[in-house]
Structure 1
Amino acid sequence: MRLIKCLTAIFLFMTLLLSGCSDSRELNNVAVVLATGIKKVNEGVQVSLLIAIPMSTNNGGSSPEKNPYYVETSMGRNILDADQNIQNHSSRILRFSHRRIILIHENIAKAGITEVLDFINRNLESRLSTQVYVTRNEITDILKAHSELDKITSEHIREIGKIMGFSVTARELLSEINSKGKDPILPVVHYDHGKVSISSFAVFHDNTMKFETKKNETIGVCWLKKNCLKGKTLTYPVEGGYVSILITKQHFKIKTLLKGATPEFSIQVKGRGIIREGEQINKLQNKRENQELEGQLEEQIRNNIKSILDKSFAHGSDSFGFGNYARIFHNTSWESKWKNNWEQRLHSIHTNIDVKFVLEQTGLNVDRASSPK
């Protein structure tokens, strides 16, 4: 009995030591930042924040006609200075832990993103899962745009990036920037007549954007990016017109070979697809004709990959990590011969691109299906 009383007294005393949230903040005291846009203006930086508005209610119902967000913009000497200027005229405390995307304007990307990387790395509220994009359009226009399906722009852009297979997180960007022998590629957001799209990449070297990919170069990037094309439809010019292919499988592998003073690389690309549309489908009467079409598609894919490799190497950018492969598989030569002048060696690197594409289905042959028995 005495033991029970002692234990009870101890437990009651321990409850006095339990504390609640001493620094808790109510929702109506916090402004949740969903996206940050950064642009260089004159000698300073312009920062735009997409801030969520808690759903207001009136007699138990919501007010759907009101946007669930608003955009705040301010100038500063650097990014945090601009953030503080926005905070100075905000009645709520800015919170960045739920930020979904960061938009970097092209004028900063071409001047160098070192400051942006420092901002992401040092900010304790930065989430490494935040997606990072580049744009050449006006950032405030992008942040205010939305679709009927996604009322908030940050979610709209984030979902497009995921569906297209283009998205790059802050974690991936920081990892590639700090990796010797690998340069980052960031997706580019386009804005046109109120609509947002993602259809190209910004290629970097030494923290600086070198160029934006054209359509054939973008497809080449995707062939060397895991599952970027799976489930997508590509339209290629072939003999007799165009053919649209649904990509069902995609795989690539890079091997490094040491021949002489400079390594050589073998790129093996494999894909499978289904013909969805094309006039020449009706001409596929036998296996030989089917193989001829596969050969034409393989040549087109090879050209896509070669176009992005040639342009990247010309700008000294190792966007696909060939230096990483050389460092891993030929570390002695990398450390003693290649590491310090890898940018110059890129111009003379030989790459062998081997493509194998298989058509799984050619679809219904209209000529034979419509011919009388």
Structure 2
Amino acid sequence: MNNSSLLKHLRWIFPFVLCPLVLSGCWDRREINDVAFVLASSIDKENDLYRISILIPLPGNMGGASGGGGGTGGVEPYTIETEAANTIWEAVDKIQSRLPRKIFFAHRRVLLFGEDIAKDGMTIPMNYLADRPENRLSTFVAVTKGKAMDLLGAKVKLERFSAELMRELLQSDATIKTSEKDIITNMNLIGKDAFIPYLELNKAETNGNKSDEIVSTGFAITNNGKEVAVLKNNDALALRLLAPKFSMYSQRLKIDGERFSYQVRNVKTVIKPIINGNQINFEISVVAMADINEFLSTKDIFEEMPKFQKIIESQMKKDLLQVLDILKTKGSDVVGFGQILNRHYPERWSKDWEPQWNTVFAKTNFKVTTKVHIYDIGALSGNMVKKGN
């Protein structure tokens, strides 16, 4: 057989020789029964230690109270494992050392920071999360009042796990959706601080049955990665008007002593810097679309429309000025006014303002204008309780 014939035969044989090598299986495979899926985790501070807690579902306990579900009545369908250590990785490693399954964070839905660690600083925890490839940057993040571990073990209704309830809550209109990626980005942007949804655990009792309620009550605002204040009520609503991602909200006010509620469903906010010498000013224009949800009066709602608009506009302006004053006082630029200056005046920003932004920001002036367009006042054109209707 000449050389050309030999090469021709080898060309056909060679793929068959390689097939066994390619199809030999996964050398690093991991069975699902060997994995502990983490649905939520929390980070608390205990003196100088980090306390890490993880919520792991127990498939064997997820059946119904009766029937062939395979579960055990009265047994929780999850377990919470917790450890404290000098570093986050050391605490996770201590938890792993006593578990028969491999901890898997890629399915984590919620990450909670206790208020102690939020005030102490979140830079180190966020750096740890960014460095670990199994951590999903789309995970929702929140700061909790008190210990974050307490919310993991909350006995909630509606959902099987507190993690699922918090995930639904953090992506609803009850707050502004905030992920690990959002916080890491805002903490590293020039002239920008991060704000984080704030959760609280309340005790509830209905017909003698006790349960836990997890509620979103506002936003934790930061300066250099540390919580400096919590915005609640009208302050939290005003922050929504300034945030890059608007989330609908409802508010209740009075008109001539009679209550009404409205919903702000869309907002366009424009922020323009105005420089007069060394004085920095910002003009903030807010145009909102709102619906009247309820009007507890027998008055004609159409005749009251101009009053509704003026009252809502006045309240918006008042709330915005108040929250801006808080941000200046606390040195928390969660809106990104420094970033706006950096885009418009990059040379002056890097030379004059960035090195002392906290001091400069405290002296900044704001001019706020608000305009509200009311689109929906309900399905009825008249008041049904009035005679003649």
The TM-score, its normalising length taken from structure 1, stands at: 0.91
Matched, 1:111 2:120: yes
Given that residues 146 and 156 in structure 1 are in contact (C-alpha distance below 8 angstroms), is that contact kept between their aligned partners in structure 2? no
Q: Which of 176, 194, 201 is the equivalent residue of 1:191?
A: 201
Q: Which of 246, 267, 271 is the equivalent residue of 2:288?
A: 271
Secondary structure of 2:50 counterpart: strand
Report how far residue 196 of structure 1 moved: 0.7
Report how far residue 145 of structure 1 moved: 2.2
Deviates more, 1:200-209 or 1:53-62: 53-62
Q: Relative to structure 1, is the Cα distance of residues 362 and 202 closer, same or farther in structure 2, using a 3 angstrom cutoff? A: same
Given that residues 43 and 149 in structure 2 are in contact (C-alpha distance below 8 angstroms), is that contact kept between their aligned partners in structure 1? no
Q: Distance in 2 between matches of 1:149 and 1:55?
A: 20
Report how far residue 147 of structure 1 moved: 4.0
Amino acid at match of 1:207: G
Secondary structure of 2:130 counterpart: helix
Structure 2 match to 1:371: 387
Q: Relative to structure 1, is the Cα distance of residues 6 and 106 closer, same or farther in structure 2, using a 3 angstrom cutoff? A: same
Report how far residue 247 of structure 1 moved: 2.5
Question: Mind listing any 5+ residue stretches in structure 1 that lack a counterpart?
Answer: none
CA offsets 1:284-324 (integer angstroms, 9 cap, x no match) = 353xx422220110010111211211001101111100000
Q: Which of 201, 218, 237 is the equivalent residue of 2:219?
A: 201
User: What is the correspondence of 1:1-20 to structure 2 with a 5 Å cutoff?
Assistant: 6-18=10-22, 19-20=24-25
Deviates more, 1:119-128 or 1:183-192: 119-128
Secondary structure of 1:370 counterpart: coil
Structure 2 match to 1:246: 263
CA offsets 1:192-238 (integer angstroms, 9 cap, x no match) = 111111121001001111011121111111112245333x4322233
Q: Distance in 2 between matches of 1:71 and 1:240?
A: 50
Q: Relative to structure 1, is the Cα distance of residues 55 and 238 closer, same or farther in structure 2, using a 3 angstrom cutoff? A: farther
Given that residues 226 and 251 in structure 1 are in contact (C-alpha distance below 8 angstroms), is that contact kept between their aligned partners in structure 2? no
Q: Distance in 2 between matches of 1:39 and 1:187?
A: 16
Given that residues 176 and 245 in structure 2 are in contact (C-alpha distance below 8 angstroms), is that contact kept between their aligned partners in structure 1? no
Amino acid at match of 2:235: E
Q: Which of 340, 343, 346 is the equivalent residue of 2:361?
A: 346
Q: Distance in 2 between matches of 1:197 and 1:31?
A: 28
Matched, 1:49 2:54: yes
Structure 1 match to 2:182: 172
Matched, 1:360 2:368: no
Amino acid at match of 1:15: C
Given that residues 38 and 47 in structure 1 are in contact (C-alpha distance below 8 angstroms), is that contact kept between their aligned partners in structure 2? yes
Q: Which of 247, 272, 281 is the equivalent residue of 1:255?
A: 272
Structure 2 match to 1:126: 135
Structure 2 match to 1:211: 229
Question: Mind listing any 5+ residue stretches in structure 2 that lack a counterpart?
Answer: 204-211
Q: Distance in 2 between matches of 1:127 and 1:101?
A: 10
Given that residues 226 and 250 in structure 1 are in contact (C-alpha distance below 8 angstroms), is that contact kept between their aligned partners in structure 2? no
Q: Distance in 2 between matches of 1:26 and 1:282?
A: 68
Given that residues 227 and 250 in structure 1 are in contact (C-alpha distance below 8 angstroms), is that contact kept between their aligned partners in structure 2? no
Deviates more, 1:307-316 or 1:359-368: 359-368
Deviates more, 1:352-361 or 1:219-228: 219-228
Given that residues 255 and 265 in structure 1 are in contact (C-alpha distance below 8 angstroms), is that contact kept between their aligned partners in structure 2? yes
Q: Relative to structure 1, is the Cα distance of residues 24 and 331 closer, same or farther in structure 2, using a 3 angstrom cutoff? A: same
Q: Relative to structure 1, is the Cα distance of residues 111 and 329 closer, same or farther in structure 2, using a 3 angstrom cutoff? A: same
Report how far residue 241 of structure 1 moved: 2.5
Q: Percent identity between the aligned chains? A: 26
Q: Which of 137, 141, 151 is the equivalent residue of 2:150?
A: 141
Q: Distance in 2 between matches of 1:116 and 1:145?
A: 23
Q: Distance in 1 between matches of 2:51 and 2:297?
A: 53
Q: Distance in 1 between matches of 2:269 and 2:226?
A: 27
Q: Distance in 2 between matches of 1:20 and 1:170?
A: 35
Q: Distance in 2 between matches of 1:253 and 1:20?
A: 57
Secondary structure of 1:128 counterpart: coil
RMSD after superposition? 2.4
Q: Distance in 1 between matches of 2:108 and 2:296?
A: 47
The TM-score, its normalising length taken from structure 2, stands at: 0.88
Amino acid at match of 1:240: G
Amino acid at match of 2:78: Y
